[in-house]
Amino acid sequence: MNKLENKLQALPKEPGVYEMLDAKGKIIYVGKAINLKNRVSSYFKGKKDSKTTALVEKIEDISWTITSNELEALILEGNLIKENRPKYNIILRDDKHYPYLKIDLTEQYPKLQVVRRKKNDGAIYFGPYPSIGSMRTVLNTIQSLFPLRTCSNNELKNRNRPCLQYQIKRCLAPCTDYISQEEYHKLIEETILLLKGKEKELIRELEQKMKKLAAEMEFEKAAKVRDQLEVIKKLALEQIIDQGHAKERDIIGFCFGETRTSIMVFYQREGNIANKEAYFLEHLREENQGEITRAFLEQHYGEMIPARELVVDTQKLEPGEKSLLEEFLSYRKGRKVVLTSPKVGEKKKLLLLAQSNAAEKYRQKVESENYLEREREKALEGLKNYLDLRKIPKRIECYDISNISGTDTVASMAVFMDGQSAPSEYRKFKIRGVVGPNDFLAMEEVIRRRFKQDWSLPDLVLIDGGKGQLSSAVKIIRGYGLAEVEVCSLAKKEELVFKEGLREGIFIPRKEMALKILQGVRDEAHRFAITYHRTVRDKKMTASVFDEIEGLGPKKKKALLKEFNSLAGVRKALVGDIAQVVKSRKLAEKIKDVIGDE
């Protein structure tokens, strides 16, 4: 009995999440089940569709996690899909990063910052908000009530007199000590109360503050607090009305295609469409509409907080999925959420409107892609003519070298397929046989190593540089007997193209798309090389710093970098957060002592 059969035999008959892994140990599919044994075993029995057949052929291992119930399984499934983005799951590919408002209480004078990612850095985050517009509305309200600073930390340190924000009463000038740190932090506390929705508590505090100021004969300050109170009470009243009577709905329309689905969400608040957002899901041809609907609701509302009612066509869902989704959405909302699939009336009209908008977005995207494809075809034809190539260069490869004074030299290979970048084909190389700064020898090494591989051959090789770099590449490529691979180089200064066998450079007008394709693949190779070089250098620095810390073994180093992304991330982290990762407060303090604070 092989490893996979042993795993199938060992599967429990309990609810949970299963992960299917390929030969490299990579997760290729994540699913949930009420009964893990029955669900996973079903993949290996009976007649299967082409998607399942392709998936099963790749499975080399299975792992699973038992959960208390199906809702827990659904939540864990969503988190694992988001983290691993498995090949055979339906994924919200454009993966919008919703805006948050952030307050970093470790700063001397904290401010409200707009960020796109929530990090484990000890700061307080509010959101996510469905759009930058809705977030700006909240931000403007806060700024009108609480005059917090908006300047950068550098401006705060170096300013010696108040800026315009102080003059128009939108800031209290902490930069010049016009407000004490204690008073400023009180404003921050009030801001946090409002953002957390604790208006009643904030109103009580401000009323006490107003009475105290009035008793101290500070009538002007008391009047300002009174004005703040009026705005906050109005906000609180609007929220009560909204919760009791006004409509709070998300209306979700789908337009299903063969390998992608367009989705339009109308966010209805207080009876009006407050905002709308378009999304696209990419999926395999065999996915049915119910699976696509479920995947979007789980992934979208795994990030966003849902409205109290979601208007969506639920007829395609499997039996029992609607009630499970409502349970999940209610868990995310913190109160009951219902899924409504109307047949007539106002809600039906709104649903049809969302569906027609989704269909229009789908049409626009297809038309745009068709147009760009035609333009790329023209550009590649133009490139063939300008460079007098034997055929249209469907696959273009470009190589770039990156180092600092000859140390940690690396190279990159960027690839364009049919005129657009193909990141999955990119490759990176550590240069091994070159000592010191010698880009010519480094280029020779990377070309030699690349053409030893059994990879698809390029129609055109582009070298970043002039005649010297071109000669180094040609010598190696022709040495492998590859007469069919054409080679040229692109010199940065004049953007002239040099081709093997020609003494003079070829001029392609700057407005031509043919040149833009060459520039695009050259710039991608450069970006990829620099990014890789930075990673190599940072790892080296991180390793040397971490090696100084007694008690910090390889596993804990890896855990730290996974949690905080980089040495800079560890520097920013609080001791408590580091302690949670390394499981020791004493070790966390030692780490902070060695690496310092940013």
Condensed to tens digits (0 to 9), the pLDDT of residues 77-128 reads: 888 888 888 888 887 755 456 677 888 888 888 888 888 777 777 788 876 6
Q: Which amino acid is at 193?
A: L
Long-range interactions of 569-572: CB distance < 8 A, separation 24+: 569/119, 569/121, 570/595, 571/595, 571/596, 571/597, 571/598, 572/121, 572/597, 572/598
Measured CA to CA, the distance from residue 391 to residue 373 in angstroms comes to 18
Three-state DSSP class for residue 406? coil
Burial class for 519, CB neighbours closer than 10 Å (0-12, 13-18, 19+):
middle
Question: Model confidence over 404-420: pLDDT tens digits?
Answer: 666 778 889 999 999 99
Asked whether 280 and 262 are in contact (CB, 8 A), the reply is: yes
Measured CA to CA, the distance from residue 403 to residue 432 in angstroms comes to 13
Compute the average pLDDT of residues 136-148.
73
Element (H, E) at 240: helix 219-244
Residue 94 is classified by DSSP as T
Question: Model confidence over 378-401: pLDDT tens digits?
Answer: 999 999 999 999 999 999 999 988
Neighbours of 553 (CB within 10 A): 11
Residue whose C-alpha is closest to residue 341's, from 281, 272, 289, 301: 289
* Residues sharing a CB contact under 8 Å with residue 61, sequence separation 6 or more, in sequence order: 3, 4, 7, 20, 21, 25
Q: Which amino acid is at 453?
A: Q
- Structural domains in the chain, sorted by start: 3-84 (3.40.1440.10), 100-244 (no CATH), 248-362 (3.30.420), 395-536 (3.30.420.340), 547-595 (1.10.150.20)
> What beta strand segments (E) does 133-271 contain?
248-256, 260-269
Neighbours of 111 (CB within 10 A): 19
Neighbours of 294 (CB within 10 A): 21
Please name the residue that has the structure tokens 């990090």. Answer: 119
Compute CA 594 distance to the chain's CA centroid, rounded to the nearest angstrom.
Answer: 31
What are 177's two structure tokens?
A: 């000590």
Question: Model confidence over 577-590: pLDDT tens digits?
Answer: 888 888 888 888 88
Please provide the average confidence, as pLDDT, over all residues in the chain: 83
Compute the average pLDDT of residues 370-376.
90
3-state SS, one letter per residue, for 44-63: CCCCCCHHHHHHHHHCCEEE
Asked whether 21 and 46 are in contact (CB, 8 A), the reply is: no
Long-range interactions of 414-417: CB distance < 8 A, separation 24+: 414/521, 414/524, 414/525, 414/528, 415/458, 415/521, 416/517, 416/520, 416/521, 416/524
* Residues sharing a CB contact under 8 Å with residue 285, sequence separation 6 or more, in sequence order: 50, 51, 258, 259
Highest-confidence segment of 200-214, 259-273, 345-359: 345-359
Predicted local confidence at residue 242, as pLDDT = 38
Question: Model confidence over 502-537: pLDDT tens digits?
Answer: 888 899 998 899 999 999 999 999 999 888 887 777
Please name the residue that has the structure tokens 């990141």. Answer: 423
Residue 235 has pLDDT above 70, yes or no: no
H-helix segments, 3-88: 3-10, 36-42, 50-58, 70-84
* pLDDT above 90 as % of the chain: 25
Question: Model confidence over 326-357: pLDDT tens digits?
Answer: 999 999 888 899 999 999 988 899 899 999 99
Three-state DSSP class for residue 492? coil
- Higher model confidence: residue 567 or residue 244? 567
What's the number of CA atoms in the CB half-sphere (13 Å) around residue 104? 17
- Higher model confidence: residue 133 or residue 8? 8
H-helix segments, 388-483: 439-452, 467-479
Predicted local confidence at residue 234, as pLDDT = 59
Element (H, E) at 409: strand 407-417
Predicted local confidence at residue 389, as pLDDT = 93
Asked whether 462 and 518 are in contact (CB, 8 A), the reply is: yes
Residue 496 has pLDDT above 70, yes or no: yes
Terminal Cα-to-Cα distance of the chain (whole angstroms): 55
- Higher model confidence: residue 136 or residue 115? 115
- Higher model confidence: residue 539 or residue 38? 38
Predicted local confidence at residue 270, as pLDDT = 64
- Higher model confidence: residue 542 or residue 489? 489
Measured CA to CA, the distance from residue 466 to residue 489 in angstroms comes to 6
What is the model's pTM? Answer: 0.60
Predicted local confidence at residue 330, as pLDDT = 92
- Higher model confidence: residue 131 or residue 28? 28
Residue 136 has pLDDT above 80, yes or no: no
